Amino acid sequence: MDCSQLTNTAKVSVGYKKDGAVQNQKDISVEEKERLVILTNEQPWKPWQRSRFWVKECLVKVRCVMGSLMEMEWYCFAALGVLTAFLSFLMDLSVEKLLRAHQWLFSQLEGHSLLQFLSWTLYPVSLCTLSTTFSQSVSPFSAGSGVPEVRTMLSGVDMPHYLSLTNLFAKYVGLICTLAAGRTVFLGKVGPFVHLSTMVGGYLNRLCTVLRGEREEKTEGAMLVVAAAVGVASCFGAPVSGVLFSVEVMCSHFALRDYCPCFFAAACGALTFRMLSVWSSDQETLQALFQTNFSDDLPFYPVEILVFTILGILCGACSCVYLFCHRWILQFIKTNKILVKMLSTEKALYSAILVFLLASLTFPLSAGQYMASNLTMKQLLSSLLENRQWTSTAKNASAVLQPQLCPWSEWCPSGNPCLTLGFFLVMKLWMLVLACTLPLPAGYFMPVFIYGAALGRLVGEALAYVSLNGIYSDQDKNQINPGGYALAGAAAFSGAVTHTLSPALLALELTGQSTHATPILLATLVANALARSGQRPSFYDALSISKKLPHLPSLLLVCPKLFSVALGKVLNSTGPVLEWAAGPMEVQQVLNTSTQTQIPVVETLGSKILLGTINRSDLQTFLFHNHNMILKKQLGDICPIQPVSVQISPDTTVQEAHRVLSVLCGQSLFVTEKGRLCGVVTWPEMKRMMEDLTNDL
């Protein structure tokens, strides 16, 4: 229905509107009258025919006006950003309430250590058990971070279960429970949010198809890429790092046509998220999530660049240890018989036991006091990014007297923050590795980011301590800022663990601290170089491999034969094929057996020389035509044969076929040898090939 038609029908509706009755029907031409009758009589058993018709016409007019301003998909991109930011804000709000409730309960029981212990441990245990039970019973695909699955979907593989509405619901509720268990299980939000955003994107894509009045659904590709950017942007209010993240999670190429939509949707998401924060709290303006106030005059001495480089090396080395432990535990829970049995039947029990263990260890009246476990994750990060030195402040007795007011004092129970930081780092390493095995919706980025911040802070505090008693002992001069090291450490460690560079920009956008841009980028690059050396898998790669997801770049790391294996060796038969001179019988048979929208046509079934493809709808027309006519015609006489633009040879490697398929955005790729059709590569076929080749892993 084009716009001129729409305007005609709109005229009708305006006519109705003006007088409220059917007075000036004479204005309406006979033709339009007929249309109106047809439209209103379509479903005569439904009530309010006239009103329904009027609303429908109004909607069509609105669509027409919207469509003339910009294309419909841009509205969907904007809606994606706004909706995701709204979900993110709502989640933050609920989690904060739940965390405050825990805090209140704990403080009310002051003096009763046992009750305090029970409240400290059982609250997160019940929340995590609820999260596990709920998410597993509603949709088992909602467990974990979701980033490995999003990466797989972005490479082109279709995974409809991961984009369902039930999954969205399960993940959202489960994630709120997980985050509310906050300090004890120490898990984050961003990974699942990227996944949530892709689910919202998937739905909006379908809506967009309906709005444009198209029958066939457009591929979700662009929407998923945009959604990945929106996920990060609306979780942190950081649009540019969202776009960079989206570039990084792509398989081999980033299409430039997705660049502007990514920025647009990410900006909408970030703006909405920050505006909601402004409206809900007493903030006067849009601020970074973890706004810091580093000195602008002399943020660091040029010679400190060297220390930042060393910090990068340290973060890289630590990330290797962390990733090794992570891979080991993933292997362990897959091979240990007790755990395998437990995780297949009693997931909730496993969650409960593990969370109880973690919570007991973080109990603030025992070991927890040396891990600053009284602080929530947000407070942890804020305290680590403080710019004043803890070592020098700890000497100031007056500050220590008011522990409630200064979060940093949580880090100095013994007077020496370096010891607390060291204990925190040692304990959290294995606790975090354990927490990653919990079968509930949870993000693993933020914990890693905080861990890196602690690592950087330790280096910064040590340097500050040395400089206070050594080189720069002049008190009047600008001092070393350990907060800058914490920021660089956070970016470097999280970048090294995930093998990405976007955390460097995220660190800047999260804190609004542009003074440290160069050292942060440098530390992240160095840490990444170390972590990537020797073709070790990243955190997401390890999860992809463990879950056997059909994500080629991950699989290549553990199965190098994928680099060289030729397509011809693993290709199945071609599936249904029609010959040029096919009659109605053959066509009917192919239509019954195949579900493809395009059927390959060959010269003869003997020669198999590929001519092109015929649309399914054309085949149905052919059958209809043949049914009516007495004179039988052949397929090629009636149906238009569309040429096949790109063909690959059976000697192509699987890796190259994957790349061609993902870059050309095609649904199927024909394999020919000397013009003869040997097979068809589609995404399901590619998935099967990858599964076959990596079966022995």
Within 599-638, the residues that bind its own copies by CB under 8 A are: 603, 609-611
Q: Are 134 and 166 in contact (CB under 8 A)?
A: no
Rule CB under 8 A: is residue 39 a binding residue for its own copies? Answer: no
Q: Residue 436 Cβ, how far from its own copies at the closest point, in Å?
A: 26
As beta bridge partners, residue 653 has: 566
Site for its own copies in 221-240 (CB under 8 A): 237, 239-240
- Distances in Å between the alpha carbon of 519 and those of 296, 297, 307, 446, 484? 15, 16, 9, 21, 9
Residue 270 tokens read as 């970030």
Among 458, 522, 556, 582, binds its own copies (CB under 8 A): 522
Q: Of these, 32, 96, 248, 586, which contacts its own copies (CB under 8 A)? A: 248
Work out how close the CB of 235 gets to its own copies at its nearest, in angstroms, rounded to a whole number: 15
Positions in 53-82 near its own copies (CB under 8 A): 70
What angle separates helix 147-154 from helix 221-236, to the nearest 10 degrees? Answer: 150
Nearer to its own copies, 37 or 664 (CB): 664
Nearer to its own copies, 9 or 528 (CB): 528
Q: What part of residues 362-401 is at the interface with its own copies (CB under 8 A)? A: none
Where do we find the tokens 């402040």?
393
CA pair distance 368, 390, nearest whole angstrom: 19
Write the interaction track for its own copies spanning residues 635-664; mark x where CB under 8 A is met and - where it is not. Answer: --------xxxxxxx-xxx--x--xx--xx
Nearer to its own copies, 410 or 541 (CB): 541
> Do residues 409 and 403 touch, judged by C-beta distance below 8 A?
yes
Residues 663-692 that bind its own copies (CB under 8 A): 663-664, 672, 674-676
DSSP code for 260: H
Residue 285 in contact with its own copies, rule: CB under 8 A: yes
Q: What is the 3-state secondary structure (H, E, C) of 649-683?
A: CCCCEHHHHHHHHHHCCCCEEEEEECCEEEEEEEH
Residues 153 and 498: their CA atoms lie apart, in Å, by 18
Minimum distance between the CB of residue 421 and its own copies, rounded to whole angstroms?
A: 26
- Asked if residue 586 binds its own copies (CB under 8 A), the reply is no
End-to-end CA distance of the chain: 54
* Comparison of 376 and 513: residue with beta carbon closer to its own copies: 513
Q: Of 509 and 541, which has the nearer Cβ to its own copies? A: 509
What letter would DSSP give residue 634? -
Footprint on residues 297-336 left by its own copies (CB under 8 A): 297-302, 305
Element (H, E) at 113: helix 113-138
Return the number of the residue (466 or 664) whose C-beta is nearest its own copies: 664
Q: How far is the CB of 660 from its own copies (least distance, A)?
A: 6
Q: CB atoms < 10 A from the CB of 404, how many?
A: 7
Angle at 584 between CA 578 and CA 590, to 5 degrees: 40
Question: Which of 611, 608, 674, 597 has its CA nearest to residue 643?
Answer: 611
Q: Does 10 bind its own copies (CB under 8 A)?
A: no
Closest approach of its own copies to the CB of residue 356, in Å: 42
Measured from the CB of residue 271, what is the shortest distance to its own copies in angstroms?
6
> Tokens 């006091």 appear where?
369
Please say which residue, 596 or 649, places its beta carbon nearer to its own copies: 649
Nearer to its own copies, 512 or 636 (CB): 512
C-beta separation of 493 from 319 below 8 A: yes
Name 19's Cβ contacts closer than 8 Å, sequence gap at least 6. Answer: none
Distance of closest approach, residue 346 Cβ to its own copies, in angstroms: 41
Half-sphere exposure of 632 (CA within 13 A, CB side): 7
- Judged by CB under 8 A, the number of residues near its own copies is 76
Q: Establish if 1 lies at the interface with its own copies (CB under 8 A).
A: no
> Which residues make Cβ contacts (< 8 Å) with residue 36, sequence separation at least 6?
12, 28, 53
* Lookup: tokens for 413: 């129970």
Q: Which helix (H) or strand (E) holds 311?
A: helix 304-335
Of 98 and 501, which CB lies nearer to its own copies in the complex structure? 501
Alpha carbon separation from 122 to 102, 126, 358, 536, 612 (Å, rounded): 10, 6, 11, 38, 65
Q: Of 557 and 609, which CB lies nearer to its own copies in the complex structure?
A: 609
Q: Which CB atom, from 53 or from 273, has the smaller least distance to its own copies?
A: 273
Q: Which of residues 481-520 bind its own copies (CB under 8 A)?
A: 501, 505, 508-509, 512-515, 517-518
Identify which range of 86-94, 194-202, 270-278, 588-596 contacts its own copies by CB under 8 A: 270-278
Tell me how far apart the alpha carbons of residues 141 and 127 are, in angstroms, rounded to a whole number: 19
Nearer to its own copies, 260 or 629 (CB): 260
Q: How far apart are CA 600 and CA 610, in angstroms?
A: 7
Asked if residue 472 binds its own copies (CB under 8 A), the reply is no
Q: Which is nearer to its own copies, 12 or 82 (CB)?
A: 82
Residue 391 CB neighbour total at 10 angstroms:
24
Q: Which of 1, 101, 286, 629 binds its own copies (CB under 8 A)?
A: 286
Taking the complex as a whole, the smallest distance from the CB of residue 248 to its own copies amounts, in Å, to 7
Nearer of residues 216 and 296 to its own copies, judged by Cβ: 296
Place of tokens 């602080």: 375
Residue 159 within binding range of its own copies, rule CB under 8 A: no
Residue corresponding to tokens 């962390």 = 322
Of 264, 390, 408, 451, the one binding its own copies (CB under 8 A) is 264
Query: Taking CA 195 as the corner, what is the angle to CA 190 and CA 196, rounded to the nearest 5 degrees?
Result: 90
What is the β-pairing status of strands 578-579 and 598-602? parallel
Binding of its own copies at residue 251 (CB under 8 A)? yes
> How far, in Å, CA of 359 to CA of 375, rounded?
14
Residue closer to its own copies, measured from CB, 2 or 297: 297
- 54-62, 287-295, 425-433, 578-586 -> range binding its own copies (CB under 8 A): 287-295
Minimal distance, residue 578 CB to its own copies, in Å? 16
Least separation in angstroms between CB 471 and its own copies: 16
What are the residues facing 441 on neighbouring strands? 144
Smaller CB separation from its own copies, 589 or 607: 607
Q: Is 153 left (phi over 0), alpha (psi -120 to 50) or beta?
A: alpha
Q: How far apart are CA 153 and CA 164, in angstroms?
A: 13
Please tell me the distance from the alpha carbon of residue 215 to that of residue 620, in angstroms, as a whole number: 17
CB of 465 to its own copies, least distance (A): 21
Q: Verify binding: residue 565, its own copies, rule CB under 8 A.
A: no
CB of 181 to its own copies, least distance (A): 32
Of 369 and 647, the one with the shorter C-beta distance to its own copies is: 647
Site for its own copies (CB under 8 A): which residue of 229, 314, 491, 521? 521
**Applying CB under 8 A, which part among 262-270, 399-407, 457-465, 541-549 lies near its own copies?**
262-270
Q: Which residue from 250, 400, 425, 557 is in contact with its own copies, where contact means CB under 8 A? A: 250
CB of 195 to its own copies, least distance (A): 21
Q: How far is the CB of 264 from its own copies (least distance, A)?
A: 6
Phi-psi bin for 474: left (phi > 0), alpha (psi -120 to 50), beta? beta
Least distance (Å) between residue 178 CB and its own copies: 29
